[in-house]
Amino acid sequence: MELLSGINWNSFLPGVTVLVTALFLLVLSLAFRLRGVQGQPAAVAGMWVSLIGLGLAVWMSLCQWDSLSAAFDGMLVLDPFSTFLSLLILGGAALTVLISQNQAAALRQVTGEYYALVALAALGMLVLVSAGDLIVLFLGLELMSLAVYILVGIDRGSLGNTEGAIKYFLIGSFAAAFLLYGIALLYGATGTTRYDGIAAALSEGQPALITLAGLGLVLVGLFFKVAAVPFHMWAPDAYEGAPTPVTAFMAVAVKAAAFGALARLLSGALLPLAGWWLPVLWSVSVATMTLGNLAAVFQGNLKRMLAYSSIAHAGYLLAALTSLDPFASSPADDKALLSVLFYLAVYTLMNVGAFGVLIYLGSRGGKAETLEDIRGAGWRYPLAGLAMAVFMFSLAGIPPTGGFMAKFYVFSAVVERGLVSLAVIGVLNSAVSVYYYLRVTVQMYMRDGGEAGAEAMPALGRPLALSLAVLAALAGVLYLGVSPAGLLEAARQAVMFLN
């Protein structure tokens, strides 16, 4: 009984709810298969079960907003920071479920497993952002990664799916090995894997060589997960090969979880080594945003373009982490963490929305994979075209969208730390990105618009779930562009008790 005294399941009720949802989806899938139910009915049932489970988890997370506690003897931490990220992850998973109905129905034999894997990946992300121990960090990362590997290759009839999944799996395995070896070295140097214990041990004297080696390997492992240069090579192929809803899920939820874990680790356990990792983050940030934007300019495939765009946005987020102040009196005084949380929230909305529009255009009877495929689509589908234009403007950082405010807060935090050169490089890269984002809008509106026929409807229409997801993302991006104070205050509360 004494061994179980530190478990405190109440602190992880949202995660338990997501786990129960995933298990129920697997049982439901088996029941449907035995009864011969496939296609759209199974997809609709799986969607509703997923949304109900994720909705319950969101409600539980909201109830825990002001809570400060720990589970499993401090290995899992419940605080507003983990709750903010949990809400972001659960929201991203719910939006992914909404835009997945057609894709899940097309999978037929594995429709239920698709939704279960989304839930299991979300569970791994919840563990990841709540980790207070390096071993739990690794477990959460691998639970998330294994589910996403399968999701990337779930369409077994597509060679692109299989190729992307294999590349993602192989490179992800290397990343896991680097991370695990780094954890072992940090344990050898400090005698503990707990974040608070590591921070206390590293505060005493100069770090040994084994400590710096462990730091480097842990950072390499996490850089792989956020697709930072030069560890980004898996992203374009995995994004292009995966089903489009899975690509959206990888671009938003996986990135939010990985950056949340990285932010907690750097601002907590590894903060005493800030003098060593800050220059590394500066260099990786510059390389990531520069290569991502320059490579995106030359892409004709929309998913590959958004993959390199995602790499560039990882560079902006790394720039924000580079502006972490190791001497701040409290985390709430450090604008770096505030900007990271705000950026992740806006990034989730604008990316899910952009991929949702691509799915919608593809569901109208044609492909929406290349720039040529969407030529004139803005005239044929006015609201879809308008939504895509707003998402592209937001990704480019053009006001009055949430993307502009997100970049403004990131570069403000960087400048306040005195890293003016990094801010200038970031702004120049953002200017480069305007070209390839606006090129999408040009293709949709200014090239061969054609004649407005019977298809030219003023509303998104079918499928309803997909339309609701796109409209919700559109409303969020526009609202945060003109009224960001509420989300910013929530982010400030989230980092107030971070340690």
How far apart are the C-alpha atoms of 102 and 368, rounded to whole Å? Answer: 15
Residue type, 292: G
User: 292: alpha, beta or left, given left = phi > 0 and alpha = psi -120 to 50?
Assistant: alpha
Residue 167 near residue 148, CB atoms below 8 Å:
no
Beta-carbon contacts of 454 under 8 Å, excluding residues fewer than 6 positions away, are: none
How far apart are the C-alpha atoms of 309 and 94, rounded to whole Å? Answer: 23
With vertex at residue 350, the alpha carbon angle to CA 441 and CA 268, rounded to the nearest 5 degrees, is 140
Strands (E), 353-473: none
Residue 251: closest CA among 357, 148, 368, 110: 148
Residue 44 near residue 98, CB atoms below 8 Å:
no
Residue 356: closest CA among 94, 39, 161: 94
CA torsion 325-330-335-337 (nearest 10°) is 90
How far apart are the C-alpha atoms of 214 and 237, rounded to whole Å? Answer: 29
With vertex at residue 295, the alpha carbon angle to CA 177 and CA 424, rounded to the nearest 5 degrees, is 95
Beta-carbon contacts of 4 under 8 Å, excluding residues fewer than 6 positions away, are: none
How far apart are the C-alpha atoms of 445 and 132, rounded to whole Å? Answer: 49
- Check residue 329 and give its pLDDT: 54
3-class DSSP assignment, residue 154: coil
How far apart are the C-alpha atoms of 387 and 333, rounded to whole Å? Answer: 36
Across-strand partners of 77? 70
Q: What is the value of pTM for the model shown?
A: 0.91
DSSP 231-278: S-THHHHHHHHS-HHHHHHIIIIIHHHHHHHHHHHHHTTTGGGHHHHH
Residue 309 near residue 440, CB atoms below 8 Å:
no
3-class DSSP assignment, residue 9: helix
DSSP 364-384: TTS--SBTGGGTTHHHHSHHH
pLDDT in tens, the chain (499 residues): 344 445 666 777 888 899 999 999 888 888 877 665 666 777 778 888 999 999 999 999 998 888 777 777 778 888 889 899 999 999 999 999 988 877 776 766 667 788 899 999 999 999 999 888 899 999 999 999 999 998 888 877 666 677 878 888 888 888 899 999 999 999 998 888 888 888 888 888 788 889 899 999 999 999 988 888 888 888 888 888 888 888 889 888 899 999 999 999 988 888 888 888 889 999 999 999 999 999 999 888 888 898 899 999 999 999 999 988 766 655 555 688 889 999 999 999 999 999 988 888 877 666 777 888 788 888 888 888 899 999 999 999 898 999 999 999 999 989 988 889 999 999 999 999 999 999 988 888 876 554 443 344 434 445 788 888 899 999 999 999 998 888 988 888 888 877 6
